[in-house]
Amino acid sequence: MINCIIVDDEPLARQLLAGYISQLPYLNCTAVCQSAIEAFTILHQQKVDAIFLDIEMPGITGINFLRSLKTAPKVIFTTAYPNYAVDAFEIEAVDYLLKPITFERFVKAVQKLSANGGEPAGRTAVEPNTHIFLKVDRRLVKVDFIDIIYIEAFGDYLKVHTPERTYVTYMTLGKIEQLLPSPNFIRIHRSTIINKRFIKFIEGNFVCLNDVNLTIGLTYRDGLLENLG
């Protein structure tokens, strides 16, 4: 188990990282800090293996905070600014993540962290996820993959339909497609992804999911039929 903390002055960034961490069973987030001063206190109270550290924060920057530590945990920088990358790697950061951070990129960084003294070798492979966290209004909402019926794109927003409710989230279809377990989810249109476990039947250029008929794009039809065998 890798005990880690998040240090970031942006509430949404803290929520996003906490959501990502919760999806990896070998990461344990022990504290979420708004500043380097808070993080300094935490480091003197508990054992911390890794820090997800923002750079531009009020008071002490992430770079200066790390330089001030006599013995520092492993650090993955999380920032919106690319111009600190050289400084970050000079002080031996494990990785440098540019916001907005995708879950795929986050996982790659954590695998480097594992290789540098975290989880034992042979356990760096990511275990299958069963859920996703969607940013809905000001919350991160956990949605199980098994409950997603289909997803529709509206520009840079998505409607994620489940039996209980529909979630509207700011994300592109291409981005969420990378996070979905590919064996279960199929793209049937440039603006639609479906969960094949909810398919009732296919007729012509339409697929019926429960009581919803969705159009199959001509360029996606062959791939859908091949996926279904």
**What is the average per-residue pLDDT within 9-14?**
94
For the cut 80, the answer to whether the pLDDT of residue 119 exceeds it is no
Range of the domain at 187: 145-228
Q: What is the CATH number of the domain that holds 87?
A: 3.40.50.2300
Q: What is the pLDDT of residue 122?
A: 37
Measure the CA–CA gap between 167 and 133, rounded to whole angstroms. 11
Distance CA 26, CA 216 (A): 40
The average confidence (pLDDT) of the chain is 88
pLDDT of 125 > 70? The answer is no
Q: Mean pLDDT, to the nearest integer, of 30-58?
A: 94
Q: What is the pLDDT of residues 178-228, one digit of tens each?
A: 888 777 899 999 999 999 999 999 999 999 998 899 999 999 988 888 888
* 152 and 108 share one domain: no
Q: Are residues 9 and 57 in the same domain?
A: yes
- CATH code of the domain covering residue 204: 2.40.50.1020
pLDDT of 128 > 80? The answer is no
Q: Which residues lie closer than 8 Å to 75 by C-beta, 6 or more apart?
A: 50, 51, 53, 66, 91, 93, 94
Can you tell me the distance from the alpha carbon of 66 to that of 55, in angstroms, rounded to the nearest whole number? 10
Q: Taking the complete model, does pTM exceed 0.75, yes or no?
A: no
> What's the pLDDT at 112?
85
Per-position b or e across 134-159, b if 16+ CB within 10 A of its CB: bbeeeebeebebeebbbbbbeeeebe
pLDDT at 37 over 80: yes
CA distance 193 to 116: 37
The count of domains in the chain is 2
Which tokens in the block code for residue 53?
Answer: 């550290």
Highest mean pLDDT among 113-122, 130-139, 197-206: 197-206
Alpha helices in 55-193 (DSSP H): 62-68, 85-90, 103-115, 173-179
